[in-house]
Amino acid sequence: MKTRITGDIPLGLTYSQIRPFIQTGSCIMWKGRSTFAKLIRWKSDFTHASLCVRLGQYKKLADRVFLVEALSTGLELRLLSERINGYNGEAYFMNIDIPIEIQNKLREFALIQCSKNIPYDYRGLFANVFGRVVPEAKAYFCSEFVWRAWEVNGLVKKRDVVPRPDDLIEWAGSSLTHILKDEPELKNEKEKEPYERIPNLI
């Protein structure tokens, strides 16, 4: 697994090209097209945020990227590749530095929180569309969970209010790269050229 993308940050990369840069604690931002997503986009250009988890200590899972994300059913563990392939909208990778010692803490935090049957924070979500809400750990909406994970594990400084999805980008000082779907015939080809800071790729 590589560190963050440096140099000329491309506007878009395929999932296969960007996957090596995704670390535990990385964030995927989403722009949905559903009716519910359109409500959120009244205040935030992005409609959803997910926290990434890598399980490289398990050989057969070393190349997989999991998400822990706050959905309508609560916190769920899902595969990023499956989410991208079935998503009605666009996905973006947030390019931030995550020290390895914080990655270990984030992995533990995310998986434990996912096992606690914590519900979705509908009240906080709607309140955050029309104003601002203070953080709490009894329920989460998407960006609330991502920021909480970063905050309690020392990646970012504490804030008095909960972020909307857009705020994550600004508050973390991050750049974004659009994740493009792999072409079906190339999806499983290991020889597909990875991204290696190619300035004119896009």
Q: What is the pLDDT of residue 41?
A: 58
30 DSSP β-pair partners: 48, 91
pLDDT above 70: percentage of residues in the chain? 82
Report residue 133's pLDDT band, with 50, 70 and 90 as the boundaries: confident
- Are residues 180 and 158 in contact, defined by beta-carbon separation less than 8 angstroms? no
Place of tokens 């984030």: 106
Is residue 99 over pLDDT 60? Answer: yes
The span from the CA of 67 to the CA of 141, in Å, is 14
Q: How far apart are CA 75 and CA 163, in angstroms?
A: 17
**The domain defined by 12-183 carries CATH number 3.90.1720.10:** yes
pTM of the model: 0.84
What's the pLDDT at 202? 22
Q: Residue 177 is inside which H or E element, if any?
A: strand 175-180
Name residue 46's amino acid. F
Q: How far apart are alpha carbons 121 and 96 in whole angstroms?
A: 26
Contact between 17 and 138 (Cβ < 8 Å): no
The 3-class SS string of 107-165 reads HHHHHHHHCCCCCECHHHHHHHHHCCCCCCCCCECHHHHHHHHHHHCCCCCCCCCCCCH
What pLDDT is attached to residue 57?
87
Note the Cα 171 to chain centre separation in Å: 14
Tell me the domain boundaries of the chain. 12-183
Whole-number pLDDT of residue 1: 56
CA separation for the pair 91, 37 (Å, rounded):
13
In this predicted structure, what is the pLDDT of residue 185? 54
